[in-house]
C-alpha cells in the first residue's frame, strides 16, 4: 500500500474562508484517499466540522491563531504573524508532517512565505505559478499566472523550462511547444522584456515556437505560454471575466420573447461550455520551483474548488512533480555550467 | 456649408492591403460626406479603382512608391522610406492637405512617423492609442491599447487625462470614472509601474476609482481604463480571440444532433452578439496627444473596418477632438506649473 497522502490546507485564506474551505476538505476526504490537516482557529474549525459527517480520522485540526489578510504587505505579514494559518501550514510541510500545502489566501504572502519557509529548488531564481487555461482543442499551460509581477528575461526562460517539465510529466506531452506571449508575431515586436526573453528562449534548447499573440492563446497553438505574472494574471482573470460576461449577454439575448423555447432546449450544451471554463473544476495552481509542493487556490474558491485543489495535490504527489523538477533543473544547471 | 472633410488613407498598410483598403474607401465616399486621398502605388490603386463605381471627384490617388512592412524597425523604416505610403500620408496631414490620416499598417511605424512628422501636443510626453471595448452595459475606453509598450507611471497619468477628455467630449460622459488595470483591487497590489501610477492618479484631480481587476473590465465598471500598451494590447486582442473562440465552441456544441433546430432559431440573437464584439464595426483607434488626427485601423481590417475608420475620422473632425485635447492638456500644464 502506498504511504498515506497528507495535505495541509489553509482554512483561513480566501474570500469564503473558513466555511467553504472546511466543506471542501470534508468533500475531499469523502472522495479521495487523502488525509487533510486543516490549519486555522481551532474553535471555529471545530464547530464547523461538528456539523459535518465524514471519516473522522481523515481530518485533523492544526491550531493557528492568526490570519494574514489580503491587503497586508507580504514580507512583514510573514515575519510578524508566526502563528498565522499560512506560516503554520508551510511549517508543517517543511517539517515533513504534510506532503502538500493549499491556500486560497493572498498570492503574495503565500509566495513570500513559501520562499522563506520551504525554499527554492537549486538553480531556480523565482518559483512560478502555472495554470491550465481551457482552449478550443484542450488546454494551454500559462506560466507565470500571477506570482512574479516584475520579471527579468532570465526568469521567463526558467518559467518556460519548468512549464515544459510540468506538462511533459503531468500530461505526457513530449517535447511541448513553448510560446512567448507578445503583442506581435514577429521577433522584433514587444517590450524590452519580451525582446530579451525571445533571444534566451531561442537559445534555450526548448521547443520554442516564437511569439504568440494574445488573440491566439484561446486557440491552443502552444502547450506552454510564457509571460510575466502581471500579464499572465491579466490573461487568466480577463478570460474568466469575459467568458462569464459573454454568457450573461447571451442569456439576456436569447431568453427574450420567442427565443425562450430555443434557449430552454440548449440548457445542457450551455452547461457543458460553462463547466469547461469553470476555474473551480481545476481548483488550484501549483508553484513550480519550490522544494516542496505548494498549491494556490483561487481567492474566490468555494468547497468544490478546494476539493479539486486537494485532488490536484494528490496527483502532484503521485507523479512527484517536485522531484521531477528538481532533477531537470539540476540537469540544466549542470549543462549550463559545463 | 461646412468645409469639405478630407481623410488621407494608407492604401498599402495592413494584412488585406491594398484591395480591401480601396474597397473601404469606395464604400466610405458613397456613404459619407468626405473626400478620400488614397496614398500608395499609383498603378495598382488606379487599376483597383477602375473596377469600382463611385463619385469620382471624391477619391484621389496620391502616389507613394514604397511600403513599410510590419516586421521593419520603425525608426529606421521612417527615416529610410521617405516615399512610403505612411510617410507621404503623414506629410499630407502636416501640410494641411488632409484633416486626418488612417493606416492599418504597423502600429510602431505609425507612432514613430506621427511623432516625427506630425508631432506631439504641448505637454504630452507620449501619444496614446485609445480603443472602445464593448462591455455588458455599453463600452469602456482603453488607454493605452497598444502604442507604448514600455511606460513610466507619469505616462499612465497622461493617458488617463487624455482618455477622460476624449470620452467627455466624444460621448458626453461628465466626470468620467477612471480605473487603473491591476491584478488586485487593493492599492498595495500590482507591479512597480502600477504602484507608482496609483499614487499619481489619486492626486491627479481625475475621477479616479482605484484599481480594476481584468476580470471586471467586461462588466463596464469604469468609463476609462488605464494601463501600459503591452497590457492594453493584451486585453484588447485576448478579448477578440476569446469571444471568437467561445462563439466557435458554442457553435460546435449547439449544432449537433437534436440541438440543431434550437440553434437555427437563435441565429439572429447570436448575430447581434457577434456584431457587438466585432472590431470592424468601430474600425479604428485614435492616437490621442498628437497635433493632428491620426487613426490606427486594425491590421486585419477589411473594407467595412476601413469605411468605419473613415467614418470615425469624420466624427473626430466634427467634434474637434484634437483641439479639445490641446486646450485641456495646456490648461492642466498651466495648473501644474502654477
CATH code of the domain covering residue B164: 3.40.718.10
Over residues A2-22, mean pLDDT: 94
Which of A9-18, A46-55, A176-185, B272-281 is predicted with the least confidence, judged by mean pLDDT?
B272-281
Phi-psi category of residue A68: left, alpha or beta, with phi > 0 → left and psi -120 to 50 → alpha:
beta
Return the DSSP state at A331: H
Mapping DSSP to helix (H, G, I), strand (E, B) and coil, where does residue B327 land? helix
In which residue are the cell numbers 473590465 written?
B217
Identify whether B198 is part of a domain: yes
Closest chain A C-alpha to B226 CA, distance in angstroms: 13
Mapping DSSP to helix (H, G, I), strand (E, B) and coil, where does residue B287 land? strand
Closest partner CB to A149 (pick from B72, B190, B239): B190
Closest by Cα among B5, B113, B34 to B66: B113
State the Cα–Cα distance between residues A37 and A19, nearest whole angstrom: 15
At A230, list the grid cell: 502581471
Instruction: Let me know whether B208 and B299 are in one domain.
Output: no
Q: How many helices (H) and strands (E) does chain A have?
A: 12, 11
Instruction: Let me know whether A219 and A323 are in one domain.
Output: no
Tell me the chain B residues in contact with residue A215 when contact means C-beta distances shorter than 8 Å: 237-238, 240-241, 244
Nearest CA in chain B to A234: B214
Q: Are B60 and B37 in contact (CB under 8 A)?
A: yes
> What's the total number of domains in chain B?
2
Q: Are A258 and A250 in contact (CB under 8 A)?
A: no
Instruction: Let me know whether B275 and B159 are in one domain.
Output: yes
- Residue stretches of chain B with pLDDT short of 70: 1-2, 279-280, 336-338
Over residues A302-326, mean pLDDT: 92
Determine, for residues B265 and A242 on separate chains, whether the beta-carbon distance falls below 8 Å. no
Predicted confidence (pLDDT) per residue in A186-201, tens digit: 898 899 999 999 999 9
Determine, for residues A231 and B233 on separate chains, whether the beta-carbon distance falls below 8 Å. no
State the Cα–Cα distance between residues B113 and B91, nearest whole angstrom: 10
Instruction: Let me know whether A156 and A262 are in one domain.
Output: yes
State the Cα–Cα distance between residues B232 and B218, nearest whole angstrom: 13
State the Cα–Cα distance between residues A316 and A127, nearest whole angstrom: 16
Statement: residue A211 has pLDDT above 80? yes
Tell me the chain B residues in contact with residue A152 when contact means C-beta distances shorter than 8 Å: none
Return the DSSP state at B296: E
Cβ count within 10 A of residue A4? 10
Phi-psi category of residue B46: left, alpha or beta, with phi > 0 → left and psi -120 to 50 → alpha:
alpha
The pLDDT value recorded for residue A265 is 79
Closest partner CB to B249 (pick from A213, A240, A273): A273
Residues within 8 A of B (CB atoms), A 31-60 only: none
The pLDDT value recorded for residue A2 is 66
Domain boundary among A279, A308, A326: A279
Over residues A82-93, mean pLDDT: 98
Instruction: Let me know whether B211 and B173 are in one domain.
Output: yes
Closest partner CB to B215 (pick from A146, A241, A265): A241
Instruction: Let me know whether A68 and A26 are in one domain.
Output: yes
Instruction: Let me know whether A147 and A53 are in one domain.
Output: no
Q: Is B265 on the interface with A (CB under 8 A)?
A: yes
The pLDDT value recorded for residue A338 is 63
The pLDDT value recorded for residue B140 is 94
Q: Are A36 and A28 in contact (CB under 8 A)?
A: yes
Phi-psi category of residue B220: left, alpha or beta, with phi > 0 → left and psi -120 to 50 → alpha:
left
Instruction: Let me know whether B150 and B21 are in one domain.
Output: no
Domain boundary among A236, A260, A279: A279
Determine, for residues B70 and A184 on separate chains, whether the beta-carbon distance falls below 8 Å. yes
State the Cα–Cα distance between residues B22 and B99, nearest whole angstrom: 19
Identify whether A14 is part of a domain: yes
Identify whether A284 is part of a domain: no
Closest chain A C-alpha to B60 CA, distance in angstroms: 33
Identify whether B338 is part of a domain: no
Task: Tell me what percent of the residues of chain A surpass a pLDDT of 70.
Answer: 97
Nearest CA in chain B to A256: B269
Over residues A25-41, mean pLDDT: 97
Instruction: Let me know whether A248 and A201 are in one domain.
Output: yes
Closest partner CB to A262 (pick from B136, B241, B262): B262
Closest partner CB to B150 (pick from A192, A245, A261): A192
Identify whether A20 is part of a domain: yes
Closest partner CB to A70 (pick from B186, B217, B248): B186
At A87, list the grid cell: 506560516
Residue from A242, A264, A265 whose CB has the most chain B CBs within 10 Å, to mutate: A242
Determine, for residues B217 and A241 on separate chains, whether the beta-carbon distance falls below 8 Å. yes
Nearest CA in chain B to A265: B262
Closest by Cα among A13, A3, A62 to A34: A3
Tell me the chain B residues in contact with residue A270 when contact means C-beta distances shorter than 8 Å: 250, 253-254
β-bridge mates for residue A284, sequence order: A297
Determine, for residues B241 and A215 on separate chains, whether the beta-carbon distance falls below 8 Å. yes
- Cβ neighbors of A38 (< 8 A, separation 6 or more) are A9, A11, A21, A22, A25, A45, A49, A59, A60, A61, A62
Closest chain A C-alpha to B211 CA, distance in angstroms: 13
Instruction: Let me know whether B133 and B273 are in one domain.
Output: yes
Determine, for residues A238 and B243 on separate chains, whether the beta-carbon distance falls below 8 Å. no
Domain boundary among A279, A301, A326: A279
Identify whether B284 is part of a domain: no
Instruction: Let me know whether A120 and A138 are in one domain.
Output: no
Tell me the chain A residues in contact with residue B246 when contact means C-beta distances shorter than 8 Å: 218, 242-243, 246, 273
Q: Are B78 and B111 in contact (CB under 8 A)?
A: no
Predicted confidence (pLDDT) per residue in B145-199, tens digit: 999 999 999 999 999 999 999 998 888 899 999 999 999 888 988 999 999 999 9
Closest partner CB to A235 (pick from B72, B229, B234): B234
Closest chain A C-alpha to B267 CA, distance in angstroms: 10
State the Cα–Cα distance between residues B335 and B338, nearest whole angstrom: 5
Tell me the chain A residues in contact with residue B254 when contact means C-beta distances shorter than 8 Å: 266, 269-270
Closest partner CB to A262 (pick from B136, B235, B266): B266
Q: Is A276 on the interface with B (CB under 8 A)?
A: yes
β-bridge mates for residue A237, sequence order: none
Q: DSSP assignment of B311-324, as one string?
A: HHHHHHHHHTHHHH
Q: Is A180 on the interface with B (CB under 8 A)?
A: no
Identify whether B179 is part of a domain: yes
State the Cα–Cα distance between residues B154 and B203, nearest whole angstrom: 12
Instruction: Let me know whether A74 and A115 are in one domain.
Output: yes
Q: Is B271 on the interface with A (CB under 8 A)?
A: no
The pLDDT value recorded for residue A276 is 76
Q: Is A150 on the interface with B (CB under 8 A)?
A: yes
β-bridge mates for residue B295, sequence order: B102, B286
Residue from B183, B225, B267 whose CB has the most chain A CBs within 10 Å, to mutate: B183
Closest chain A C-alpha to B266 CA, distance in angstroms: 7
Closest chain B C-alpha to A214 CA, distance in angstroms: 5
The pLDDT value recorded for residue B52 is 97
Statement: residue A308 has pLDDT above 80? yes
The pLDDT value recorded for residue A198 is 98
The pLDDT value recorded for residue B338 is 63
Q: Is A263 on the interface with B (CB under 8 A)?
A: yes
Q: Domain range holding A331?
A: 1-124+289-338
Nearest CA in chain A to B234: A214
Return the DSSP state at A7: E
In which residue are the cell numbers 457577434 written?
B274
Predicted confidence (pLDDT) per residue in A246-276, tens digit: 888 888 888 777 778 777 777 887 887 777 7
Identify whether B140 is part of a domain: yes
Amino acid at each position: 500500500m502506498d504511504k498515506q497522502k497528507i495535505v495541509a490546507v489553509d482554512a483561513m485564506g480566501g474570500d469564503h474562508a473558513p466555511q467553504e474551505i472546511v466543506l471542501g476538505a470534508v468533500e475531499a476526504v469523502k472522495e479521495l484517499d487523502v488525509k487533510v490537516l486543516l490549519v486555522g482557529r481551532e474553535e471555529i474549525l471545530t464547530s464547523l466540522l461538528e456539523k459535518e459527517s465524514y471519516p473522522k480520522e481523515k481530518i485533523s485540526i492544526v491550531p493557528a491563531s492568526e490570519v494574514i489578510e489580503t491587503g497586508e504587505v507580504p514580507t512583514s505579514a510573514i515575519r510578524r504573524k508566526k502563528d498565522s494559518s499560512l506560516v503554520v501550514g508551510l511549517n508543517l510541510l517543511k517539517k515533513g508532517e504534510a506532503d502538500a500545502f493549499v491556500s486560497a489566501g493572498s498570492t503574495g504572502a503565500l509566495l513570500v512565505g513559501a520562499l522563506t519557509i520551504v525554499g527554492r529548488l537549486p538553480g531556480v531564481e523565482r518559483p512560478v505559478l502555472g495554470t491550465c487555461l481551457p482552449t478550443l482543442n484542450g488546454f494551454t499551460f500559462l506560466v507565470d499566472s500571477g506570482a512574479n509581477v516584475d520579471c527579468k528575461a532570465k526568469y521567463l526562460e526558467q518559467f518556460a523550462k519548468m512549464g515544459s517539465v510540468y506538462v511533459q510529466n503531468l500530461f505526457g506531452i513530449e517535447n511541448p511547444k513553448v510560446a512567448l506571449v507578445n503583442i506581435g508575431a514577429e521577433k522584433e515586436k514587444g517590450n524590452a522584456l519580451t525582446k530579451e526573453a525571445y533571444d534566451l528562449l531561442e537559445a534555450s534548447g526548448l521547443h520554442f515556437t516564437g511569439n504568440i499573440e494574445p488573440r491566439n492563446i484561446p486557440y491552443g497553438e502552444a502547450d506552454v505560454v510564457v509571460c510575466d505574472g502581471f500579464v499572465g494574471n491579466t490573461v487568466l482573470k480577463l478570460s474568466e471575466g469575459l467568458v462569464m460576461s459573454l454568457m450573461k449577454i447571451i442569456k439576456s439575448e436569447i431568453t427574450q420573447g420567442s427565443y425562450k423555447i430555443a434557449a430552454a432546449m440548449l440548457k445542457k450544451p450551455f452547461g457543458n461550455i460553462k463547466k469547461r471554463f469553470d476555474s473551480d473544476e481545476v481548483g488550484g495552481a501549483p508553484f513550480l520551483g519550490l522544494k516542496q509542493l505548494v498549491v494556490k487556490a483561487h481567492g474566490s474558491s468555494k468547497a468544490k474548488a478546494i476539493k479539486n485543489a486537494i485532488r490536484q495535490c494528490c496527483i502532484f504527489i503521485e507523479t512527484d512533480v517536485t522531484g521531477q523538477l528538481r532533477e531537470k533543473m539540476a540537469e540544466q544547471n549542470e549543462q549550463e555550467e559545463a
